[in-house]
Copies of this chain bind each other. A is one copy, B any other.
């Protein structure tokens, strides 16, 4: 007898006909509200700069390395400029003005000289200003061209080596030592990972500088440095060739150095970056304005680099209840989408986050998860979507945990998620072991092989539990968006709307690094990225 046996498939992530029967007018209304809520913040971002944005400009212009104490030259130089004439005009004018005044034959020399106290900066006027801006732009453009070459190179490799089918299997390495990370990452890729994420050391996101060089001493993660990026990307290029599929590399932007890390990611051909417009605010108590300014710049760089961003909605559900807060995830996704598009990112670059974090003891928990996941899928049909596994309700019961991860995988298959973070049965116990990853991948394989196309048979009953729940969450999201539009996003954040964290706009880390732009502020990077000049 013959069964229609076809090769195992992962579910189609291409636009499915609406299973939730969403009313497109309602969806458009939700997007319009997100735009309204986000607009004032964009205005803020356009009229402010931060120390990290300015340092990113210097990095794009080629300034790297650190002083003997390990303080990056970009920090030294920006601090020096700030001390002499403030940052309200940006670093570009005073720095290139100084170079033109022969204060040094290149940025490094200038930085060293200024560190020795042998340079004083000024805000050039008229012609001087014009010349400074012109040379600065040329210098920054060299960095952007490097980013363009990397993007082209990625496209070439993907074409040559082939692109894995969706969902991309996303695995984490986190030894703290780049030289342990590398073999583990390569092993993970061989085991089937399509995307490798190197988790950062705890605390890095609160450093107001980017460490230098190859590092071996992170806690529960490895420092994000340009050299570590380079080493890991090279190692993955190696296995990519071996495996005949392009293995992507992910790291984390959000934090105090979002703009700089985004620049480094582009310069070292990273492929995805965790980049959320609010994560730093909510989960790292970083000043809201600092974050909004930084995220905009970093996303402009990602857009240019062809990098896919991953947003952090999943994190909300680790602190708030996944049922009560379901609509806050939707709201955040809509805001992240708005900010991303405004910064120039395209749909295919939006790895909007959500997670399987409903308490498994809740009746109908799986049906609720399906409803939530389906809503995200249908609201953002062209975005890859980042589907995060259960973490909060994982316990030392590794068997129950393995089962829960299986149902997470099933929900992913039934709702066509694009980027599948692989859940680990030891989530509540240790950072993943080699065998945990292997078992986790077998779990994924079984589910996708056995039920990967169940979504073809699965049509939620018209007006059934799942459809109703989908509509309910969208409705609540719209109410909340309306409230945010009324109070303003900053106040909403101050009131603990997201992840139950209260973050007032006048507090939080890195506030002192925020500067309002003066008239005549120049940022050649933004100008180039926004295409106001090439």
Task: Please give the residue numbers on chain A whose beta carbons come within 8 Å of chain B beta carbons, in ascending order.
Answer: 1, 3-9, 323-324, 327, 360-368, 370, 397-400, 402-404, 406-407, 410, 425, 439, 442-443, 446-447, 449-454, 456-461, 464-469, 472, 476
Identify which of A360, A453, A458 gathers the most chain B CB atoms within 10 Å of its CB. A458
State the number of copies, please.
2
**Are B402 and A368 touching (Cβ within 8 A)?**
no
Which chain B residues lie closer than 8 Å to A459 at the CB level? 459-461
**Are A1 and B324 touching (Cβ within 8 A)?**
yes
Shortest Cβ distance from A22 into chain B, in angstroms? 16
Question: Whole-angstrom distance between the alpha carbons of A443 and B399 in the complex?
Answer: 9
**Are B453 and A465 touching (Cβ within 8 A)?**
yes
**Are A5 and B450 touching (Cβ within 8 A)?**
no
**Which chain B residue lies CB-closest to A6?**
B363
Which chain B residues lie closer than 8 Å to A370 at the CB level? 454, 457
**Are B449 and A365 touching (Cβ within 8 A)?**
yes
Question: Whole-angstrom distance between the alpha carbons of A403 and B365 in the complex?
Answer: 18
**Other-chain contact of A404, B368, B404, B446, B458 (Cβ < 8 Å):** B446
Question: Whole-angstrom distance between the alpha carbons of A7 and B364 in the complex?
Answer: 9
**Other-chain contact of A3, B323, B399, B410, B439 (Cβ < 8 Å):** B323
Given A450-B360, A465-B4, the answer on whether A458 and B458 have CB atoms closer than 8 Å is yes
Shortest Cβ distance from A362 into chain B, in angstroms? 7
Given A400-B442, A446-B403, A476-B1, the answer on whether A366 and B454 have CB atoms closer than 8 Å is yes
Question: Whole-angstrom distance between the alpha carbons of A313 and B63 in the complex?
Answer: 74
Given A1-B476, A3-B323, A469-B3, the answer on whether A457 and B407 have CB atoms closer than 8 Å is no
Shortest Cβ distance from A165 into chain B, in angstroms? 14
**Which chain B residue lies CB-closest to A450?**
B366
**Which chain B residue lies CB-closest to A400?**
B442
A-B contact pairs, 19 of them (CB 8 A): A1-B476, A5-B362, A7-B363, A8-B364, A9-B363, A362-B450, A363-B449, A364-B453, A367-B457, A370-B457, A397-B442, A399-B399, A402-B402, A402-B403, A406-B406, A410-B410, A457-B461, A458-B458, A458-B461
Known: A361-B449, A457-B460, A457-B461. 11 other contacts (CB 8 A): A1-B476, A8-B364, A362-B450, A363-B449, A367-B457, A400-B443, A403-B446, A407-B447, A407-B451, A459-B459, A459-B460
**Are A446 and B5 touching (Cβ within 8 A)?**
no
Shortest Cβ distance from A460 into chain B, in angstroms? 5
Question: Whole-angstrom distance between the alpha carbons of A366 and B457 in the complex?
Answer: 12
**Are A451 and B4 touching (Cβ within 8 A)?**
no
Shortest Cβ distance from A174 into chain B, in angstroms? 22
**Are A457 and B464 touching (Cβ within 8 A)?**
yes
Which chain B residues lie closer than 8 Å to A439 at the CB level? 399-400
Identify which of A8, A447, A454 gathers the most chain B CB atoms within 10 Å of its CB. A454
Which chain B residues lie closer than 8 Å to A442 at the CB level? 397, 399-400
**Which chain B residue lies CB-closest to A326?**
B1
Question: Whole-angstrom distance between the alpha carbons of A468 and B452 in the complex?
Answer: 18
Which chain B residues lie closer than 8 Å to A425 at the CB level? 399
Question: Whole-angstrom distance between the alpha carbons of A368 and B2 in the complex?
Answer: 12
**Which chain B residue lies CB-closest to A8?**
B363
Shortest Cβ distance from A387 into chain B, in angstroms? 17
Given A399-B425, A466-B457, the answer on whether A450 and B407 have CB atoms closer than 8 Å is yes
**Which chain B residue lies CB-closest to A442?**
B400
Which chain B residues lie closer than 8 Å to A476 at the CB level? 1
Identify which of A3, A365, A402 gathers the most chain B CB atoms within 10 Å of its CB. A3
